[in-house]
Amino acid sequence: MPTPTGALVLEPTADGSMTLFSEDFGEWFHSRQGAYTEAYATYVEATGLASLAQAPTLALLDVCYGLGYNTAAALDTILRVNPACQVRLVALELDPRVPRQAVDSGLISGWPAPVQACLQDLASTGRAQRPWLEATLLWGDARQRIQAVETLNFQADVIFFDPFSPPHCPELWTVEFIQRLAACLHPKGKLVTYSCAAAVRTAFRLAGLSVGPVNAAGRRWPGTLAQIGSVGLAPLSQQEQEHLLTRAAVPYRDLTLRDSAAAIHHRRQQEQAVSDLVPTSRWRKRWLPLHQKVPPAR
């Protein structure tokens, strides 16, 4: 995948923190309801990170590091609840301009000073080392970089999974990529994403993970918590279960982990056209009042 070159446009969100708009992907980096709020609520709180950080060690994989907000909210939380916790962090990001712009434009100034210093080190050198932290930011297409993470035998207690939405970035929502993520998840680990798309939840299941809904701050729809086994997961509602029986649940595929977005969309459309699953319009009619906007794709 080529490195993006389009403009990154600054925009304030409702909680006062700033986000960016990506011209290349045609999407905002965060919920407009609040970027810092989303990092805390959708990623840190949803995974119960504060309680996981009571352990002596914690391994965190941040997929799509972006401005580093999810990492920042995690580090802030860990430092507050258990500064003795030894943290190992691996983050993946395609576009080096993004974390650098976050630092250079002062977008990270709302985080505590020790957290800001880590984000600065990561943006400039790709590493942050402290007595309590060993962090690496790997540049490039996450579909290839994840293989380095697997080679390290990295087993994440928590995975933050925050790509642009499936219509805008299908490359990172495929069964094949999610299988690679699942291989990096500790047997007791938790993966969280803001998306509740049926195609995404199906991909998690095909990768051997159980899924449950989770609060996604600033969005009208829940996010998804995925893990090995269903213990402790909230059950999917009837509406959510039926969504998984529709053509919206046909997952994205990318056998070589190198296909373009267009090729991945095309393959899925072909699979949907011959699918035995019920049309998604039937599900929408049953569950979504006319005035309510269609959910996700995301």
Ligand X SMILES: C[S@@+](CC[C@H](N)C(=O)[O-])C[C@H]1O[C@@H](n2cnc3c(N)ncnc32)[C@H](O)[C@@H]1O
282: three-class secondary structure by DSSP: helix
Site string for ligand X, 208-247 (x = CB under 6 A): ----------------------------------------
Assess 254 for contact with ligand X (CB under 6 A): no
Closest CB to ligand X: residue number: 66
Assess 163 for contact with ligand X (CB under 6 A): yes
Torsion sign (Cα): 81, 86, 91, 96: positive
Min dist CB 124 to ligand X, Å, is 17
Q: Of the ranges 88-96, 129-137, 180-188, 264-272, which one interacts with ligand X (CB under 6 A)? A: 88-96
Pairs from 106-114 (Cβ < 8 Å, separation ≥ 24): 107/10, 107/17, 107/18, 107/67, 108/67, 108/68, 108/72, 110/16, 110/17, 110/36, 111/72, 111/76, 112/76, 112/79, 114/75, 114/79
Task: Choose between 64 and 115: whose C-beta lies nearer to ligand X.
Answer: 64
Q: Of the ranges 74-82, 163-171, 180-188, 225-233, which one interacts with ligand X (CB under 6 A)? A: 163-171
Assess 78 for contact with ligand X (CB under 6 A): no
Helices (H), the chain: 35-38, 49-52, 69-81, 97-104, 113-125, 142-151, 175-183, 198-206, 238-243, 261-273, 280-287
Interface residue with ligand X among 18, 75, 169, 178 (CB under 6 A) is 169
Assess 296 for contact with ligand X (CB under 6 A): no
- Cα gap 158→140, rounded to integer Å: 21
Task: Choose between 53 and 137: whose C-beta lies nearer to ligand X.
Answer: 137
Phi, psi (degrees; rounded to nearest 5) at 212: -145, 160
**Are residues 159 and 183 in contact, defined by beta-carbon separation less than 8 angstroms?**
no
Assess 47 for contact with ligand X (CB under 6 A): no
Tokens standing for residue 267: 């393959």
Min dist CB 248 to ligand X, Å, is 21
Residues touching ligand X, count (CB under 6 A): 22
Interface residue with ligand X among 8, 49, 64, 217 (CB under 6 A) is 64
Assess 122 for contact with ligand X (CB under 6 A): no
Secondary-structure breakdown of the chain: helix, strand, coil percentages, each rounded to the nearest 5: 35, 20, 40
Can you give the binding site for ligand X, defined by CB under 6 A? Answer: 1, 29, 39, 64, 66-67, 69-70, 92-95, 98, 141-143, 162-164, 169, 171-172
